[in-house]
Amino acid sequence: MQFLALTEFDHASINPLTDKFWSDFEPLKDKLPLLNSDEKSNYGTLKATLNEYLTWAFALQFFYEHSPDQYPALKNQVFRIMSGRSFTRFEEFMLFYEEYMNNQDKYPILEDYYPTVVKWIGELE
């Protein structure tokens, strides 16, 4: 339950970043079906789907950094949740996002990683 609350608080950090980079993401909106198999859901836009992907990844990062013993089990649980919510590439995204988590010297803040997220989405097939 605490983890779910954390994902809601994280929207306060993630949503403004996605908004800031929206001019880069907006041309990629045709990639939505590759990330979310239920475009009629509450997350039926690329922006909403990205905010969910990034918010859940950002919340997992907290456990990766502060409770590494809990991270693997929690990550698997989140994979099941996200799959059940039609977020079809979250596992793949999380593997990609771990590059950010493991390279804090290269990406001191999440905003520095957003151009890489844009590139990742652009390369999806």
Q: CA-to-CA distance for 96 and 30, rounded, in angstroms?
A: 20
pLDDT digit string, tens, across residues 25-53: 999 999 999 999 987 777 889 999 999 99
Closest CA to 13 of 120, 121, 111: 111
pLDDT exceeds cutoff 60 at 61 = yes
Contact at 8 Å (CB) between 50 and 58? no
Return the pLDDT at 6: 55
- In the chain, where the domains are located: 2-122
Return the pLDDT at 44: 86
Return the pLDDT at 123: 97
Q: What contacts 72, CB < 8 A, 6 or more positions away? A: none
